[in-house]
C-alpha cells in the first residue's frame, strides 16, 4: 500500500464539477433518445445523433464528457503518487482531448475517427490504472469495491460493443447490405445490437467519474471537519 495521501488537498469544487459534467452526459444522451427517435438505438451509434435536428446536443454531450475527465483528473491529481497512476491520469486527460475533438468534429468529419480512437482507446486503460492507484492508499481503500465494479462496467461494455459490431458487420455482409450513417434500414436477417453497448459505454464512463468524484468530495469534507476539531 502506498504512502498516505492528504484528502485535504482535494479541490472539492472541481470534483463537484466532474460530477455535474458526467451527469450532463447521461442527461444529454437520454434526451437525444427522445429528441431524435429516428436513430434506432439498436444499431445507430451515439455519434450519429449529430446528423439529426439536435446535433448540438450531441456536441454538448461530448464536450461535457471532456470536461468531466479533465475536472476529475485535476481533482484527484494530488491523490495519485505512483507512476502507473500518473500514467492513468495522463490517459484520462487524453480521453478528454478525444471528447473535445468529437464535440467539434462530428461523424461526417475525417477527424472524428481520430477523436474516437483517442477517446475510446484511452479511457479503458486510464480507469483501472487510476482506480488501483487510488485504492492502494489508506483513505481511498474504503471505495475499493465501488471503483472495482464501475471500472469493470467500462470494459464489459467495450467488449460487448466490439462483439456486437462484428456480429452486425458479418450478418450484414451475408445479407448483402452495407453499414453507413446513410443507411436508413438494415436488410432482413441482420443482427443489430451494437448501439446499446455503445450507449452503455458512455454511461459507464460517466458513472465511474461520478463514483471517484463522490468519494473525493466525501474525503475532502471529512478532512475539513477533522481540521476544525
The pLDDT profile of the chain, 229 residues, written as one tens digit per residue, is: 444 567 667 889 999 999 999 999 999 999 999 999 999 999 899 999 999 999 999 999 999 999 999 999 999 999 998 999 999 999 999 999 999 999 999 999 999 999 999 999 999 999 999 999 999 887 888 888 999 999 999 999 999 999 999 999 898 888 776 665 566 677 788 888 999 999 999 999 999 999 999 999 998 888 777 665 5
Dist CA 47 CA 59 (whole Å): 9
Alpha carbon separation from 170 to 23, 144, 165 (Å, rounded): 35, 39, 9
Q: Are 186 and 177 in contact (CB under 8 A)?
A: yes
Cα-to-chain-centroid distance, residue 197: 12
Dist CA 117 CA 124 (whole Å): 12
Q: Are 97 and 66 in contact (CB under 8 A)?
A: yes
Dist CA 217 CA 223 (whole Å): 10
pLDDT at 96: 97
Q: Are 91 and 80 in contact (CB under 8 A)?
A: no
Dist CA 208 CA 86 (whole Å): 17
Q: Are 143 and 166 in contact (CB under 8 A)?
A: no
The single residue listed with the C-alpha cell 467539434 is: 104
pLDDT at 4: 54
Amino acid at each position: 500500500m502506498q504512502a498516505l495521501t492528504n484528502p485535504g488537498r482535494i479541490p472539492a469544487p472541481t470534483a463537484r464539477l466532474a460530477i455535474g459534467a458526467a451527469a450532463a452526459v447521461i442527461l444529454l444522451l437520454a434526451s437525444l433518445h427522445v429528441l431524435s427517435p429516428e436513430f434506432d438505438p439498436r444499431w445507430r451509434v451515439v455519434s450519429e445523433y449529430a446528423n439529426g435536428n439536435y446535433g448540438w446536443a450531441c456536441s454538448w454531450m461530448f464536450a461535457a464528457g471532456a470536461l468531466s475527465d479533465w475536472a476529475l483528473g485535476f481533482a484527484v491529481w494530488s491523490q495519485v503518487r505512483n507512476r502507473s497512476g500518473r500514467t492513468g491520469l495522463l490517459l484520462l486527460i487524453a480521453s478528454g482531448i478525444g471528447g473535445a475533438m468529437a464535440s467539434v468534429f462530428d461523424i461526417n468529419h475525417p477527424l472524428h475517427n481520430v477523436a474516437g480512437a483517442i477517446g475510446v482507446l484511452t479511457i479503458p486503460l486510464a480507469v483501472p490504472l487510476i482506480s488501483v492507484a487510488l485504492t492502494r492508499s489508506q483513505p481511498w481503500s474504503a471505495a475499493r469495491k465501488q471503483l472495482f465494479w464501475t471500472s469493470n462496467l467500462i470494459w464489459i461494455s467495450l467488449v460487448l460493443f466490439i462483439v456486437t459490431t462484428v456480429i452486425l458487420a458479418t450478418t450484414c455482409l451475408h445479407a448483402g447490405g452495407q453499414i453507413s450513417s446513410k443507411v436508413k434500414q438494415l436488410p432482413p436477417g441482420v443482427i443489430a445490437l451494437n448501439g446499446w453497448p455503445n450507449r452503455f459505454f458512455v454511461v459507464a464512463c460517466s458513472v465511474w467519474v461520478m463514483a471517484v468524484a463522490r468519494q473525493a468530495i466525501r474525503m475532502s469534507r471529512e478532512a475539513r471537519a477533522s481540521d476544525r476539531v
